[in-house]
């Protein structure tokens, strides 16, 4: 799953106790993959290209105990919870951010072929919807844009920024699904992924800075 991971970020930003912090929630949504591709650059975790890995994604994610185990994801979530709770002085915002981090593992469990673990050791887990494109594709698009619609229904602001974000999300997802895949894994693949996450996070921060919560009577609040 790629852009589907941002669905919990939209929901969390829509129900957060202060002005929507969509950029921070986008970081939370992909923090596990930020970690994976960074660790892969240093050979700590690893993947390889295997066209037989699944119907949709030719990535054999054979070593990722620190990011894509449930235990590892929980540690990342706890760390991000502390950062947000302390920096924003908001326990609730920290909890929301931590839950978004953990949601990454849950959503991956739905689509990944068995390559996830509970604690970095077998058994390997995954429901394997990547082998059923007719299910995985509408699920990912439905989750993402349904959550975006919910976020927009709870906030108000100019239409341009969220439209740009939605368009970039869709384009990057189509590239992820249908563009030719690399022949082998390596730094170019890892850095490319990190750049994509950085671009989307920047756009999300831009959107969040231009949205305010709706209040009864059609008024909006920019409480910080």
Sign of the C-alpha dihedral computed for residues 107, 108, 113 and 117 taken in this order? negative
- The pLDDT value recorded for residue 136 is 97
pLDDT at 216: 45
pTM: 0.93
pLDDT, residue 223, reads: 43
Give the residue carrying structure tokens 């490319």. Answer: 192
Q: How far apart are CA 81 and CA 121, in angstroms?
A: 25
| E-strand stretches of the chain | 46-49, 59-63, 155-156, 212-214, 220-221
Number of CB atoms found within 10 A of residue 175's CB: 12
- Of 173, 165, 153, nearest to 22 by C-alpha is 165
Q: What is the pLDDT of residue 19?
A: 65
Give me the domain span that covers residue 174.
Answer: 3-221
Q: Are 211 and 150 in contact (CB under 8 A)?
A: no
**104-141 confidence digits (pLDDT tens):** 999 999 999 999 999 999 999 999 999 999 999 999 99
How many angstroms separate the CA atoms of 186 and 209, rounded?
35
**CB-CB contact of 69 with 118 (8 Å):** yes
Contact 99, 8 (CB under 8 A): yes
How far apart are the C-alpha atoms of 95 and 8, rounded to whole Å?
Answer: 13
pLDDT at res. 224:
39
Is the Cβ–Cβ distance between 20 and 213 less than 8 Å? yes
How far CA 29 is from CA of 32, 98, 100, 133, 145, in Å, comes to: 8, 9, 5, 22, 15
**Which positions of the chain have pLDDT values less than 50?**
216-224
Pairing of strands 220-221, 59-63: unpaired
**Tally of structural domains, the chain:** 1
């Amino acid at each position: 799953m790629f852009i589907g991971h941002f669905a919990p970020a939209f929901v969390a930003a829509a129900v957060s106790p202060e002005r929507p912090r969509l950029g921070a929630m986008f970081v939370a949504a992909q923090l596990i993959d930020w970690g994976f591709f960074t660790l892969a650059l240093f050979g700590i975790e690893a993947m390889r290209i295997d066209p037989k890995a699944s119907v949709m994604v030719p990535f054999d994610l054979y070593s990722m105990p620190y990011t894509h185990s449930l235990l590892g994801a929980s540690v990342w979530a706890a760390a991000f919870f502390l950062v947000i709770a302390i920096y924003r002085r908001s326990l609730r915002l920290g909890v929301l951010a931590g839950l978004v981090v953990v949601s990454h593992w849950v959503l991956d469990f739905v689509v990944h072929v068995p390559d996830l673990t509970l604690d970095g050791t077998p058994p390997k887990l995954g429901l394997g919807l990547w082998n059923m494109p007719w299910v995985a594709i509408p699920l990912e698009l439905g989750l993402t844009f349904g959550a975006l619609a919910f976020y927009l229904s709870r906030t108000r602001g100019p239409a341009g920024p969220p439209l740009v974000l939605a368009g970039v999300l869709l384009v990057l997802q189509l590239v992820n699904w249908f563009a030719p895949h690399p022949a082998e894994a390596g730094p170019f693949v890892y850095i490319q992924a990190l750049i994509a996450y950085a671009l989307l996070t920047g756009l999300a921060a831009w959107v969040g800075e231009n949205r305010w919560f709706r209040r009864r009577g059609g008024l909006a609040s920019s409480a910080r």
